[in-house]
Amino acid sequence: MNQKGKETRITDAPIWMWGIAALGLALVAASIGFMLYEAAAGDSSPADVTVQVDSTTPTRNGYLVKFRAINTGGSTVEGLTIEGTLRNGSETIETSDTVLEWVPAHSEREGGLFFTSDPRQHQLQLRAKGYENP
């Protein structure tokens, strides 16, 4: 009941309330539809990870190589191991690795590798070494 003692019916709601309710219903329906579409026909291609060097910075104990791991595949990876190798011709000077806990499909993550030798003075190779399925 309202303040005047009359019952308020749902049909007495202002038109703007109906508009907001319709918008909310449309958003919920669209979200459910998108999730169903992704589950049925989404990209389920395997992970496709590439690693790019962003920068090399001297530190007190050596050098930090910042990198970006880019997953262009349709599958999420967990526990992605990134390995960096410094080479002088065919000779391996130093190796460093790290693990990225989670790299979703069609996304990228940043990380870093530490070296005692200057990566700018050698051939630096970065690669994705392995991962687990989530």
Q: Kindly report, residue by residue over 71-83, the tens digit of the pLDDT.
A: 999 999 999 999 9
On average, the pLDDT of the chain sits at: 91
Taking the complete model, does pTM exceed 0.85, yes or no? no
Domain at 49-132, CATH homologous superfamily: Lipoprotein YajI-like (2.60.40.1620)
If DSSP codes are grouped into helix, strand and coil, which group holds residue 89? coil
Residue recorded with tokens 């190589």: 65
Q: Which residues pair with 123 in a beta bridge?
A: 87
The domain ranges of the chain are: 13-41, 49-132
Q: Kindly report, residue by residue over 34-48, the tens digit of the pLDDT.
A: 888 877 776 778 999
- How much is the pLDDT for 100? 97
Q: Kindly report, residue by residue over 84-125, the tens digit of the pLDDT.
A: 999 999 999 999 999 999 999 999 999 999 999 999 999 999
Q: Which of 26, 77, 28 is nearest to 51 (CA)?
A: 77
**Cα angle: 59, vertex 63, 67; to 5 degrees:** 115
